Amino acid sequence: MSVIVDEAILPNPTFKSAWDTIKTDSAQKERLIAQSLLALTLRRSFTFEQMPIHGLIVLSGEPGTGKTTLARGLAHKISEALTGHSVNFMQVDAHAMTSASLGKSQKEVTKLFTQTIPERANGKALIVLLDEVETLAADRQRMSLEANPVDVHRATDAALAGADHVARHAPNALLIATTNYPDAVDRAFLSRADLIETMGPPTAEARKAIIQETLDLFGSKWSGIDRLKSHISRFASEAEGLDGRALRKALIAAAASTPTTAMNPGKMTAEQVSHAIKRAHAGRQAKKVAA
Ligand SMILES: Nc1ncnc2c1ncn2[C@@H]1O[C@H](COP(=O)(O)OP(=O)(O)OP(=O)(O)O)[C@@H](O)[C@H]1O
Ligand SMILES: [Mg+2]
């Protein structure tokens, strides 16, 4: 199984839309860009001892809060800011690495950090998305050695040593890690992060923006959607508590209310949208109970 699940050369329009898609505090977006640029510029000029920057940013938060999407968008924004230089991007599947056969995980992790990343960051900025990093850098204290083979423990050790190696020897590399389970990530890994940002469900303003954007997208293909726009504030308050993914899915589900609306989403009614939002809340509740 390959550990690199996506690669791209940035800037790239698909990645730009990822950044715009996520409606979050503009101050949070600005912090992410600023920290990323600082990590890339300072590490080129100073030693790790002078400026102990790891070039590691962590996005933490519940499922569906936009972490992976924002991380990909951030990679694009960094490439835009570094004008005149293209940037390499790669996304790593932590599960693939740690589910490798016994004894292999540690080797895979070490190879990633000491070989693959430094090679690709040679003379060129490289953004590495370590998605769902709790599998890669699992908290060693929480691990029972019976339930979790020694191999996993060693993989975490390798990830820590790997992050240190990248910090010192691959100053052009920036690691962006995401996690649903910050408590399951090894504390030593989190302490290496230069910035940890927590993402939550969208605010009222963000919910309105998501709804507006989705209705505009439907409206660009089907007429009739404009009728719904006077209800946006109501939909946004009904959607309070839904994560961004659940809200986008609810709006799509509204279009699937009947075969008629499925063929022509322009015919969706405000009641169908409200009903779909209600169902999304019920679905979330059911998932919580099951979990
Ligand atoms: N704040 C938000 N604004 C707009 N859209 C959002 C927001 N949060 C999530 N979404 C939408 O939800 C979808 C899922 O987002 P994404 O996969 O990035 O979430 P995630 O936090 O990585 O989830 P998971 O932890 O399950 O991997 C995307 O299509 C994204 O556009
Ligand atoms: Mg994700």
The pLDDT assigned to 74 comes to: 97
Nearest to 63 by CA among 284, 274, 282, 214: 284
- Which atom of ligand 1 lies closest to the CA of 69? 18
Task: Report whether residue 214 contacts ligand 1, using a CB cutoff of 6 Å.
Answer: no
Ligand 2: centre distance to CA 178 (Å) = 7
The pLDDT assigned to 284 comes to: 79
The percent of residues in the chain predicted with pLDDT above 70, rounded, is 95
How far is residue 151 CA from its own chain's centroid?
A: 27
Task: Report whether residue 212 contacts ligand 1, using a CB cutoff of 6 Å.
Answer: no
Instruction: Pick the range with the lowest mean pLDDT from 123-132, 224-233, 281-290.
Output: 281-290
Lookup result for tokens 């693959």: 116
Domain range list for the chain: 4-199, 204-290
Contact in structure between 201 and 280 (CB atoms under 8 Å): no
Ligand 2: centre distance to CA 50 (Å) = 34
Pick the residue whose CA is nearest to atom 26 on ligand 1.
63
Pick the residue whose CA is nearest to atom 29 on ligand 1.
245
Task: Report whether residue 162 contacts ligand 1, using a CB cutoff of 6 Å.
Answer: no
Whole-number average pLDDT of the chain: 92
The pLDDT assigned to 154 comes to: 85
Q: Quote the CA–CA distance of 279 and 269 in Å, as a whole number.
A: 15
Task: Report whether residue 148 contacts ligand 1, using a CB cutoff of 6 Å.
Answer: no
- Residues 55-75 have a mean pLDDT of 97
Q: What is the pLDDT of residues 74-91, one digit of tens each?
A: 999 999 999 878 899 999
Task: Report whether residue 55 contacts ligand 1, using a CB cutoff of 6 Å.
Answer: no
The pLDDT assigned to 152 comes to: 73
Q: Please indicate whether residue 34 or residue 104 has the higher confidence score (pLDDT).
A: 34
Q: How many residues does the chain have?
A: 291
Confidence of residue 100 (pLDDT cuts 50, 70, 90): low
pLDDT at 283 over 90: no
Ligand 1: centre distance to CA 128 (Å) = 19
Ligand 1: centre distance to CA 245 (Å) = 5
The pLDDT assigned to 103 comes to: 67
Confidence of residue 70 (pLDDT cuts 50, 70, 90): very high
Residue 262 has which token pair? 């499925």
Confidence of residue 105 (pLDDT cuts 50, 70, 90): confident
Q: Quote the CA–CA distance of 172 and 127 in Å, as a whole number.
A: 8
* Residue 102, strand partner residues: none
Give the mutation target among 29, 245, 248, 284 for probing the ligand 1 site: most ligand atoms within 8 A of CB. Answer: 245
Task: Report whether residue 246 contacts ligand 1, using a CB cutoff of 6 Å.
Answer: no
Torsion, Cα 98 100 106 108, to 10 degrees, reads -100
Confidence of residue 3 (pLDDT cuts 50, 70, 90): confident
Ligand 1: centre distance to CA 157 (Å) = 30
Confidence of residue 44 (pLDDT cuts 50, 70, 90): confident
228-237: long-range contacts at Cβ-Cβ below 8 A with a sequence spacing of 24 or more?
228/268, 228/270, 228/273, 231/270, 231/273, 232/208, 233/208, 234/270, 234/274, 235/207, 235/211, 235/270, 235/273, 235/274, 235/277, 236/204, 236/207, 236/208, 236/211, 237/204
Q: Please indicate whether residue 60 or residue 154 has the higher confidence score (pLDDT).
A: 60
Q: Please indicate whether residue 103 or residue 258 has the higher confidence score (pLDDT).
A: 258
The pLDDT assigned to 196 comes to: 98
Q: At what angle do helices 270-290 and 244-255 cross, to 10 degrees?
A: 130
Task: Report whether residue 91 contacts ligand 1, using a CB cutoff of 6 Å.
Answer: no
Instruction: Pick the range with the lowest mean pLDDT from 43-52, 226-235, 256-265.
Output: 43-52
Residue 232 is which amino acid? I
Nearest to 175 by CA among 134, 129, 125, 212: 129
Confidence of residue 146 (pLDDT cuts 50, 70, 90): low
Contact in structure between 274 and 256 (CB atoms under 8 Å): no
CB-hemisphere CA count at 13 Å for 236?
Answer: 19
Q: What class, spelled out in words, does domain 4-199 have in CATH?
A: alpha beta
